[in-house]
Structure 1
């Protein structure tokens, strides 16, 4: 079955209810054959004590969009996805507006997937660069 952009976005956002993604207001906003984009508002909910975006919130955004991307490209009736490693380099701070996370595949294997996730602000300034490794494991029936 071919997934439409609208279907993928709607499904991704629907499963965020009562999760960390809902708490942080993470929203999937774009999808293509080799990428997924989500955004998160930068406000006091995601600040560190000195009033800038917390690196942990940035990593939560990155892992969310990367895991969603891996999830879209597997047979979810037979497999589930888990993140097994994430790295982050925070390059610039931000105090307000939105941050956008674009996940693209470096490697899309049957068992492991490696994603590059760039976090940018509204002016497309690079805020953080993350790498996420996910694993697809068989569901026990």
Structure 2
């Protein structure tokens, strides 16, 4: 597998300032090949006009966890990846507190990777969303 040099939680967190995940306040808690955990604190500016956590915030947390974890499983010689499909099922929401995600690899192939993520309200322990995404592995063009 290709080594990107960004495998520890601290190294991954160093990538976030100045990006959407950084603006949302996403923090990577742990990373090992095939599994990543992260969280964010729910703030008023992350809520939808109805007063509940905006669904896009939950998707961004899950997609960020899966995307950062993809890096460690890229095949040698690949040049990167991009998300080609994602799906979310929402089971609950939050107005405050902390939400967390656990992203796990379901498939790491030469052309695609498939990741699952479970988002949880860490204050209540209740599941909030189930997420699956497919990453396309990119290769240098001749």
TM-score (norm 2): 0.88
Q: Which residue of 2 aligns with 1:60?
A: 60
Q: Which residue of 2 aligns with 1:134?
A: 135
Q: How does 1:1-141 map to 2 (within 5 A)?
A: 8-74=8-74, 78-122=78-122, 123-139=124-140
Name the CA distance, whole Å, in 2 between partners of 1:82 and 1:43.
Answer: 29
Name the CA distance, whole Å, in 1 between partners of 2:129 and 2:100.
Answer: 10
TM-score (norm 1): 0.88
Name the CA distance, whole Å, in 2 between partners of 1:49 and 1:139.
Answer: 43
| SS at 1:22 equivalent | helix
User: Which consecutive aligned stretches of 4+ in structure 1 deviate over 6 angstroms post-superposition?
Assistant: none
1:28/1:51 CA distance change after superposition, 3 Å: same
RMSD: 2.1
Structure 2: gaps (5+ residues): none
Question: What is the CA distance between 1:15 and its match in structure 2?
Answer: 1.0
Question: What is the CA distance between 1:34 and its match in structure 2?
Answer: 2.5
1:76/1:23 CA distance change after superposition, 3 Å: farther
Query: How many residues are treated as equivalent by the alignment?
Result: 138
Is the Cα–Cα contact under 8 Å of residues 24 and 45 in structure 1 kept in the other structure?
no
Residue by residue, what CA displacement relative to the aligned partner does 1:69-108 show, whole Å, maximum 9, x if unpaired? 1112225874211111110011111111111111101111
Name the CA distance, whole Å, in 2 between partners of 1:14 and 1:92.
Answer: 30
Question: What is the CA distance between 1:37 and its match in structure 2?
Answer: 0.7
Name the CA distance, whole Å, in 1 between partners of 2:50 and 2:59.
Answer: 18
| SS at 1:110 equivalent | coil
| SS at 2:51 equivalent | coil
1:134/1:100 CA distance change after superposition, 3 Å: same
Structure 1: gaps (5+ residues): none
